[in-house]
Amino acid sequence: MERRNVGILGATGMVGQRFIQLLANHPWFNITWLAASDRSAGKTYADACKWKLDTPLPKHIAQMIVQPNTPEASTTELPRIIFAALDADIARELEPKFAEAGCAVISNSSAFRMTLDVPLVIPEVNAGHLDLIERQATRKTSGGYIVTNPNCSAIGLVLALKPLEDRFGIDSLFVTTMQAISGAGYPGVPSLDILGNVVPFIKNEEEKMQEEVGKLLGSLDGSSVSPLPAKVSAHCNRVAVEDGHTECVSIKLRKPATYEQVIAAWEEFQPLSGKGLDGLHLPTAPLHPVEYDTAVDRPQPRLDRMRGNGMTSTVGRLRPCSIFDWKFVVLSHNTIRGAAGAALLNAEILAVLGKLDFRQFPPLKQPVQVAEAVVKA
């Protein structure tokens, strides 16, 4: 696989920092462009960003100049692949500009997740939905498009649901989340609001989960996705945990399943090495996207969030439910599998499927400074 240049839009935020961390030694992608808001543009990344992760900021990234957050204002060459880590309101304005310019915008934002011709994708779950790219207007002109990954709380849940839907069908489910404070970004939730406390409200979170589960597990029907006809009810809570979203799930299946059959569905779930996708070998994909832990008190965020390098969804405590059929607990890392890692995995499958090959489309317009340098050379 040839190495491709990529950019990060919203590079100074927590998800932007995760992108930098995960891409630092990636075999397929090379960071050449960083952009953020006007208050950061023109500064070195080290000066613009308060680095909050547990690995050092790479020296070459620290020295990069942060660009303005529009394609036409960039003073350095714009790459064709853009990882976007923007708030929804800002993404709604900026992401289409990059798609119009001819970029593949791989978005972590909720702005376009439910748009009919925009794929909402977890590669292990619904890679086939990427065909929606070809229906976007910008794809037919500049070659650009938008692809989204789901909400951080939906991803871990849907990874656990997909093998159950495939084997038994899902009639309805009830989920209560305990979501980490890193999901609110930095500086996030004030300490006096969260320490020793649970906040039983996260704006739009319950609605996102309920909508996105249906689209992710739905079927591609021509130019749109027919949502899974299952009932989903969600309660979302913010808790005093740094990283890792924990979810308690009760589920009613369409066909009966024994304890052993449910466990087998999770343990045998390896779609990226199975029929039709054999040989993808995506660098960020975990060998086991879902792992079941038999301990009576697992999963736990502190102990299990980094399974599969933060890309595995850990399930535990499967037991009968007196209202539905079964109940269990799911844990996933919200800023890796639930954000930057999810978008990176989407980029990897786009590369393998040839969706990052832009040779048939017009080249991107070069910034004036870059074009002048080429002429002088």
CATH number at residue 283: 3.30.360.10
Confidence (pLDDT) at 111: 98
Domain housing 144 = 4-149+339-353
Report whether 161 contacts 254 (CB < 8 A).
no
Q: What is the mean pLDDT of the chain?
A: 94
Q: What does the block give as tokens for 131?
A: 């065909």
Backbone dihedral angles phi then psi of residue 238, each to the nearest 5 degrees: -100, 130
Confidence of residue 1 (pLDDT cuts 50, 70, 90): confident
Residue 370 belongs to a domain: no
Task: Mark whether 195 and 93 lie in a shared domain.
Answer: no
Q: What does the block give as tokens for 74?
A: 């960039």
Report whether 32 contacts 103 (CB < 8 A).
no
* Cα–Cα distance, 209 to 150 (Å, whole number): 9
Residue 361 belongs to a domain: no
Residue 49 belongs to a domain: yes
Task: Mark whether 49 and 145 lie in a shared domain.
Answer: yes
Give the SS3 label for residue 198: strand
Task: Mark whether 144 and 159 lie in a shared domain.
Answer: no
366 against 339, higher pLDDT = 339
For residue 131, pLDDT over 80 is answered with yes
pLDDT tens per residue, range 216-270: 999 998 889 999 999 999 999 999 999 999 999 999 999 999 999 999 999 999 9
Task: Answer positive or negative: Cα dihedral of 282, 22, 202, 115.
Answer: negative
Confidence (pLDDT) at 363: 93
Residues annotated as catalytic are 152, 245
- pLDDT (mean) for 294-299: 98
* Cα–Cα distance, 39 to 278 (Å, whole number): 46
Residue 237: HSE in the Cβ half-sphere, 13 Å Cα cutoff: 16
Q: What does the block give as tokens for 108?
A: 């972590």
Task: Mark whether 349 and 243 lie in a shared domain.
Answer: no
* Domain tally, the chain: 2
Residue 322 CB partners (closer than 8 Å, separation 6+): none
Task: Mark whether 80 and 196 lie in a shared domain.
Answer: no
Helices 205-216 and 152-168 sit at what angle, rounded to 10 degrees?
40
Report whether 196 contacts 239 (CB < 8 A).
no
Residue 362 belongs to a domain: no
Task: Mark whether 228 and 176 lie in a shared domain.
Answer: yes
Confidence (pLDDT) at 223: 85
Q: How far is CA 285 from the centre of its chain?
A: 12
For residue 170, pLDDT over 90 is answered with yes
Confidence of residue 2 (pLDDT cuts 50, 70, 90): confident
User: How far are the Cα atoms of 63, 65, 72 from residue 43, in angstroms, in the given order?
Assistant: 9, 6, 18
* CB neighbourhood size of 304 (10 A): 22
Residue 358 belongs to a domain: no
Task: Mark whether 187 and 289 lie in a shared domain.
Answer: yes
Residue 364 belongs to a domain: no
Task: Mark whether 42 and 97 lie in a shared domain.
Answer: yes
* Cα–Cα distance, 377 to 374 (Å, whole number): 5
Task: Mark whether 15 and 110 lie in a shared domain.
Answer: yes
Angle, CA of 152, 156 and 160, to the nearest 5°: 155
Residue 369 belongs to a domain: no
The residue whose two tokens read 């004036």 is: 368
Task: Answer positive or negative: Cα dihedral of 53, 156, 288, 122.
Answer: negative
pTM, 2 dp: 0.95
Confidence (pLDDT) at 222: 82
Task: Mark whether 195 and 281 lie in a shared domain.
Answer: yes
- On the 0-12 / 13-18 / 19+ scale of CB atoms within 10 A, 169 is middle
Residue 235 belongs to a domain: yes
For residue 376, pLDDT over 90 is answered with no
CATH number for the domain harbouring residue 105: 3.40.50.720
Task: Mark whether 34 and 71 lie in a shared domain.
Answer: yes
Task: Mark whether 145 and 91 lie in a shared domain.
Answer: yes
